Amino acid sequence: MFKKLLPDWFKQYQSAWLTGDVIAGAIVTVMLIPQSLAYAMLAGLPPQAGLYASLLPIFAYALFGSSMTLAVGPVAIASLMTSTALAPLASLGSVDYAALAVILALLSGVMLFVFGLLRLGFLAYFLSHPVISGFISGSAVVIAIGQLKYIFGIQTPRGGIITTLSGLLEGLPTLNVTTTLLGCGALLFLFFARRYLASILKQIGWSEKSADLAAKLAPMLVVIVATLIVNLGQLDQQAHVSVVGSVPAGLPSLSLPTIAWHDIRALWLPALLISLVGFVESVSVAQSLALKRNQRITPDKELLGIGAANIASALSGGYPVTGGFARSVVNFSAGANTPAAGVVSAIFMAVVVAVATSWFYYLPHAVLAATIIVAVIGLIDFKTLQQSWHYDRADAISLILTFLGVIFLGVEEGIVIGVVLSLAVVVWRSSRPHMAVVGRVPGTEHFRNVDRFDVELVNGLIALRVDESLYFANAQVLEDKIESLVAESTGTHAVLLIMSAVNQLDSTALGMLDELEKNLQAKGIDLQFAEVKGPVLDRLHKTDLGQRMHDRIFLSTHQAFLSHST
Amino acid sequence: MFKKLLPDWFKQYQSAWLTGDVIAGAIVTVMLIPQSLAYAMLAGLPPQAGLYASLLPIFAYALFGSSMTLAVGPVAIASLMTSTALAPLASLGSVDYAALAVILALLSGVMLFVFGLLRLGFLAYFLSHPVISGFISGSAVVIAIGQLKYIFGIQTPRGGIITTLSGLLEGLPTLNVTTTLLGCGALLFLFFARRYLASILKQIGWSEKSADLAAKLAPMLVVIVATLIVNLGQLDQQAHVSVVGSVPAGLPSLSLPTIAWHDIRALWLPALLISLVGFVESVSVAQSLALKRNQRITPDKELLGIGAANIASALSGGYPVTGGFARSVVNFSAGANTPAAGVVSAIFMAVVVAVATSWFYYLPHAVLAATIIVAVIGLIDFKTLQQSWHYDRADAISLILTFLGVIFLGVEEGIVIGVVLSLAVVVWRSSRPHMAVVGRVPGTEHFRNVDRFDVELVNGLIALRVDESLYFANAQVLEDKIESLVAESTGTHAVLLIMSAVNQLDSTALGMLDELEKNLQAKGIDLQFAEVKGPVLDRLHKTDLGQRMHDRIFLSTHQAFLSHST
């Protein structure tokens, strides 16, 4: 009974997998410590919130999720969205702020879990790739610019990108030189490490895999070195370098937040947007990793997994979490075989949280900001823009508008713009269908566009092929086309609509065809159909129009032409 | 030079059209007087706002619009939306409130006019018919319930439908008996007239057309009779019957409102929604009338026409206007040939406004409310629900959700829900495409579903036909299908994707195919295409994938099969 609830990977666990899982778990922990501190700072939360969000959620995901290698925890974009959602509701650093972050995680977790129970996993595919790319790039720019104040040790007012940039410019004369040296030094080293470290290590004889992994751990090295420098020089006192300070030691206590109605009213929409974005991000990361090993992930289970992880994060004083890209890739490359790798890293993290939080006292904020900037700059994606500009201008424009929307209007507005654009582009694309008047290629049963081929026509018959599903956005266009074809011709006694490309026919289009049939009939013209697809035909038969037209629906265009020739 | 700006109907005006236009103009005026007073009341505005909105806008539409018979002026739904938009911003009856209504009309007019210049007329078709039906029915219910307080002469608090209904119930003991008798009497007579008057008149020998038109003028009769009764009995004093009271005489003076930034910030979204709804309403009315006379309307010109009408309304102290259904039908039936009919009715209205506003003093609000209720109840549309429930469940559900959204969340929320549902249903429909593994019908060049037909297969070749355009919402579904087909089979050396129904291929789907091709190649399997449509093929050739696959794209499924048989 109880065993049934255990995940498959646990029941089928093989001892051969253990080494990979333990090594990957250890390496991910080294990456996770600076990340969880940095992303908590980005979310406007105390450092422990990031640490707590890296413990229980991993266990919860391991129970419900379907990816073998996804690393769940604090991530950049969800942290940015958390800070955006909470900024208007509570002052930064207050107890209320942290409590609202917990509620946000709980709402998001419950939504995702319920969506999972309702099997709404297909929602992962309701955002087009260019829109996701524009959203992530825009968020990365917003995050990177928001971190610059820590690099220079300047205070800036909270607000949009313009406020932040002008605050930075105004504040530059007051910058803290020691902080700036630490921050810029960390930035330079991290950029250098990202670019060249792996190849240098390979040249001195490391294996490709170890070199790549070691390069990914550069942030931990910077964090250790910077912490030592600040500690030795007592730079927090001597040079006013802003540091993490004391972090409460000990594991988080479990508790459910008290939630007031007005919290739900204020947070449901941000929670929904964070859920959507986090889920889409997780699924795409999990999917691309799973494909490399011929594994499969199940979007419905991912909803349950990410949902459970967020509920666990809320129970243990964290904030919204999801599957992160960089950490998952490291987990995968370091040889993780199952979510046991995550469990190992959660256990290591628990040890750190229990005994070692004092080590972070002298860690400078400027260095955390540098790790964030380098991480998110890697998310800026020019390639998709370039490709889609080349291949499909409408996709490229959606990408750019979503990108600009995130930067200038805000991250929540950006994702709403993205969703609407994703949907609107689909409708826009099919709203002006390709249509061709066709005739018969002499001596064959083939029919081709009269404008391109030398074809035979039947007197008084207009045969029109429409290359799109018919629905509200293009029904009128088709009607206009037919009306104008009829108006231009003389002696027309029949209009044949060839529906070989009509995969769907919605009720708006059906209503249009019904009206059209009556209007044409009133002028003594028969409306006829040919090559109607099975599913469309089945539905059509149930309607008045289908009943009236039952002897005017032809299997093939050829048969329709024959009926006129005789 | 100046002549070029005049509309075609004016330049080509024939004297034979004049009689029809004058008669129609006169009849519409009789209908327009009570309507403009009633809809101003519905919008929360003083009566003169309704009268002013029935003057200049008609001239402006006549200059720019494309419909010969559309009657532009105050309408029920735009009035409701005006009151919804302004209620939170200014107190009812205040000078600010009327000034904001003018700004709303101006914003809406400028938006529509600019959309017209940008040729965005296709926006009229971005709402599905079921969603429009649900929106109109829901608005009608909200309007009718909102008018009941006038019928009974009770005060209710402003608010949502629940507040209104409970206010009505609580207020019932305090109802004004005389008002209730007048209101219910008017309601009963108007329902009777709507139902039976035309057929009674026909039985006593009237022509069908005159009988129908006379029945439409019943509201004017009720208004006259009720005004006389109240006047003779001095019921406003004796029985506290609420009446229209004094309306300033004289034509409106032209002026531009002063607009502050915060007004634009508060009103741009309501203005956009009113524009969208008003435009969609106008176009569908204008189109259905134009079709009956084999005329055509041009959505781009309608944008200019309705836009100009709203700007004119704003200049002359009115509020948002659009083309109304009932009035346009009467205009059409009464024999209007050109917008000159509208100009005639505007001139009659101008005379009324100039000299006769004192006649409305004793007109009871209860009777105006009765005319509104009877008018909007006619807008409630069960037929579309019934038809779409039968034909297409997804459409029916969109209709119901939009209807409920308007009633319980509000009219603006309702239209937003409607737009999102319209778009989402399109995506949802095509997100699970029909796919079939096909084989060759023996001895032919035809290929059919292996599950339905006895067909020949080629060893090691999987031929899959997908019956939908490929894009972000279904790209993953196709990939999953192909991956699982490959996983289930052994010895596969090629996967043939038959794209005869793929009208579009967006960049998300292209990216998926690119990945898939590489993944299959890594397993030693060739991805091949057949029957790729011209426009899709042209684009494909420009991509990396198209270059890699150039010798694996077959014109027909038959040729692809032949290449494997040899």
> Do both A457 and A314 map to the same domain?
no
The pLDDT confidence band at residue A491, using thresholds 50, 70 and 90, is confident
Predicted confidence band of residue A476 (pLDDT cuts 50, 70, 90): confident
Give B-chain residues touching A500 at CB under 8 angstroms.
500-501
Q: Are B486 and B492 in contact (CB under 8 A)?
A: yes
Mean pLDDT of B445-470: 88
Single out the residue in B425, B453, B483 at which a domain terminates. B425
Taking CA–CA distances from B385, the nearest residue in chain A reads: A507
Cα–Cα distance measured from residue B460 to residue B167, given in angstroms and rounded to the nearest whole number: 74
Q: Give yes or no: residues B266 and B370 share one domain.
A: yes
Residues B481 and B411 in one domain: no
- Determine contact, residues A69/A50, Cβ cutoff 8 Å: no
Size of interface A-B (CB pairs under 8 A): 161
B329 part of a folded domain: yes
Least confident of A93-107, B290-304, B490-504, B543-557: B290-304
Which range has the worst mean pLDDT, A44-53, B238-247, B292-301?
A: B292-301
* Same domain assignment for residues A114 and A214: yes
The answer as to whether A286 is a domain residue is yes
**Are residues B407 and B449 part of one domain?**
no
- The CATH number given to whatever domain includes residue A444 is 3.30.750.24
Is pLDDT at B358 greater than 60 in this prediction?
yes
Residues A305 and A320: their CA atoms lie apart, in Å, by: 13
In B293-381, where does DSSP find H-type helix? 299-315, 325-333, 340-355, 365-377
Whether B87 and B142 map to the same domain: the answer is: yes
- CA quadruple B404, B409, B412, B416: dihedral sign: negative
Residue numbers in A near B296 (CB within 8 A): 480, 483
Domain-located, residue B4:
no
d(CA B511, CA B509): 5
Token pair of B244, please? 């229209």
Please give the pLDDT value at position B102.
Answer: 95
* B448 CB within 8 Å of a chain A CB: no
CB–CB contact A431 B125 (8 Å): yes
- Note whether A467 contacts B: Cβ–Cβ < 8 A: yes
Q: Average the pLDDT over B494-501 and give the result.
A: 92
In B, residues 170-229, which contact A (CB 8 Å cutoff)? none
Chain B residues in contact with A387 by the CB 8 A cut-off are 507, 511, 543
Residue B227 distance to chain A (closest CA, Å): 43
pLDDT digits (tens, 9 = 90+) for A308-333: 999 999 999 999 999 988 889 888 88
Q: Is the pLDDT score of A548 beyond 90?
A: yes
- With residue A461 as reference, give the H or E element that holds it: strand A461-466
Q: Looking at B362, B394, B425, which one is the last position of a domain?
A: B425
Distance from CA of A85 to the nearest CA of B (A): 21
Distance (Å) from the alpha carbon of A476 to chain B's nearest alpha carbon = 7
The stretch B447-458 carries a mean pLDDT of 86
Residue among B562, B448, B464, B456 nearest B513 (CA): B464
Q: Domain for residue A327, yes or no?
A: yes
- pLDDT digit string, tens, across residues A334-376: 889 999 999 999 999 999 999 888 888 999 999 999 999 998 9
- pLDDT of B129 reads 87
Q: Confirm or reject contact between B434 and chain A (CB < 8 A).
A: yes
Q: Which residue has the tokens 């955390």?
A: A368
Give the strands of the sheet with A494-498, arranged side by side: A447-449, A435-440, A461-466, A494-498, A526-530, A553-554
Q: Is the pLDDT of residue B125 over 70?
A: yes
- The residue ranges of DSSP E strands in A59-107, in sequence order, are 71-73
Q: Judged by CB atoms within 8 Å, which residues 527-546 of B form the interface with A?
A: 533, 535, 539, 542-543
* Structural domain includes residue B19: no
Q: How confident is the model at residue A496 (pLDDT cuts 50, 70, 90)?
A: very high
Give the pLDDT confidence of B154-187 residue by residue, as tens digits: 988 877 888 889 999 999 999 999 999 999 999 9
Cβ burial, residue A382 (10 Å; 0-12/13-18/19+) = exposed
Q: What is the three-class DSSP state of A342?
A: helix
Classify burial at B214, counting beta carbons within 10 Å of its beta carbon; exposed 0-12, middle 13-18, buried 19 or more.
middle
Residue A3 has pLDDT above 90, yes or no: no
Q: How far B126 CA sits from the closest chain A CA (Å)?
A: 5
Are A395 and A494 in the same domain?
no
Task: Give the per-residue pLDDT at B117.
Answer: 93
pLDDT at A185 over 80: yes
B427 vs A contacts (CB less than 8 Å): 126, 423, 426
**What tokens appear for A69 in the block?**
């290698």
Residue A2 has pLDDT above 70, yes or no: no
Range of weakest confidence among A109-113, A482-486, B109-113, B445-449: B445-449
Whether B460 shows a pLDDT value over 60: the answer reads: yes
Residue A53 has pLDDT above 60, yes or no: yes
> A253 and A140, same structural domain?
yes
Q: Kindly report the CA angle at A471 between A466 and A472, in degrees rounded to 5?
A: 125
Which 271-310 residues of chain A touch chain B by CB within 8 A? 287, 291, 296
Pick from B125, B139, B21, B54: which is nearest to B379 by CA?
A: B139
SS3 state of residue B338: coil
What are the structure tokens assigned to B544, written together? 């990396």
Q: Based on the number of CB atoms within 10 Å of its own CB, is A522 exposed (0-12), middle (13-18) or buried (19 or more)?
A: exposed
Task: List chain B residues with CB under 8 Å of A510.
Answer: 391-392
Beta carbons of A433 and A477 less than 8 angstroms apart = yes
Distance from CA of B82 to the nearest CA of A (A): 25
Using a CB-CB cut-off of 8 Å, the residues of chain B touching A508 are 128-130, 395
The pLDDT tens digits for A265-304 are 889 889 999 999 999 889 888 888 887 777 778 889 999 9
Instruction: Report the run of H or E that residue A554 belongs to, with start and end.
Output: strand A553-554
Answer yes or no: do A119 and A251 share one domain. yes
Query: Do the chains contact at A426 and B126, CB–CB below 8 Å?
Result: no
pLDDT at B275 over 90: yes
Q: What angle is formed at CA A514 by the lines to CA A512 and CA A518, rounded to 5 degrees?
A: 115
Q: Which residue of B has its CA nearest to A128?
A: B472
Please, which residues have CB within 8 angstroms of residue A434's CB and are 6 or more apart in sequence?
A466, A467, A468, B503, B535
How many angstroms separate the CA of residue A311 from the nearest CA in chain B?
Answer: 28
Mean pLDDT of B57-86: 93
Estimate to the nearest angstrom the gap between the alpha carbon of B247 and the chain centroid: 32
pLDDT at A37: 93
Q: What percent of chain B has pLDDT over 70?
A: 99
Q: What is the nearest CA distance from B218 to chain A, expressed in angstroms?
A: 31
B237 and B360 housed in the same domain:
yes
* Residue A151, min C-alpha distance to chain B (Å): 36
Contacts of A125 in chain B (CB under 8 A): 431, 472-477
Which A positions 476-505 lie with beta carbon below 8 A of chain B? Answer: 476-477, 480, 483, 500-501, 503-504
**Contact residues, chain B, for A468 at CB < 8 Å:** 469, 503
Which are the contacts of A478, defined by CB distance < 8 A and separation ≥ 6?
A: A433, A435, A466, A470, A509, A512
Average pLDDT of span A192-220: 88
Beta-bridge mates of residue B464? B437, B497
Share of chain A above pLDDT 90, in %: 52
DSSP for B239-288 reads: S---B------SPPPP-PPP--HHHHHHHHHHHHHHHHHHHHHHHHHHHH
Residues B153 and B219 grouped into a single domain: yes
pLDDT band at A396, cuts 50/70/90? very high
Angle between the N-to-C axes of helices B218-233 and B18-42, in degrees from 0 to 180, rounded to the nearest 10: 50
Which domain covers residue B495, as residue numbers? 435-565
Residue in this structure with the two tokens 């629900």, named with its chain if needed = B385
User: Given this model, what pLDDT does residue B41 score?
Assistant: 93
Assigned token pair, B494? 């090629």
In which element (H, E) is residue B57 found?
helix B56-64
Task: Report whether pLDDT(A566) > 70.
Answer: no
User: Residues A421-426: what's their mean pLDDT?
Assistant: 83
* Proportion of chain A above pLDDT 70, given as a percent: 99
Note the pLDDT tens digit of each residue in A229-261: 999 999 999 989 999 898 888 888 888 888 888
Per-residue pLDDT band for B293 (boundaries 50, 70, 90) equals confident
Set of chain A residues whose Cβ sits within 8 Å of the Cβ of B472 = 125-129, 422
Of the pLDDT bands very low, low, confident and very high (cuts 50, 70, 90), residue B1 is low
Contacts of A409 in chain B (CB under 8 A): none
Cβ–Cβ gap A474/B535 under 8 Å:
no
Query: Quick check: B538 pLDDT over 70?
Result: yes
- Structural domain includes residue A117: yes
* pLDDT top residue among B199 and B422: B199
Interface touch A427/B126, C-beta < 8 Å: yes
Q: Which of A425, A457, A488 is the last residue of a domain?
A: A425
User: Is A321 inside any structural domain?
Assistant: yes
On whether both A411 and A535 belong to a single domain, the answer is no
Instruction: Output phi, psi for B283, to 5 deg.
Output: -65, -40
Q: Give B80's pLDDT tier (boundaries 50, 70, 90).
A: very high
Test A472 with B129 for CB contact under 8 angstroms: yes
pLDDT at A160 over 70: yes
A429 and B500 within 8 Å at the Cβ level: the answer is no
Domain count, chain A: 2
Over residues A383-392, mean pLDDT: 90
With CB atoms and an 8 Å threshold, state whether A467 touches B515: no
**Which pLDDT score is estimated for B16?**
87
- The partner residues of B553 in beta bridges, in order of sequence, read B529
Check: pTM over 0.80? Answer yes or no. Answer: no
pLDDT at A11: 87
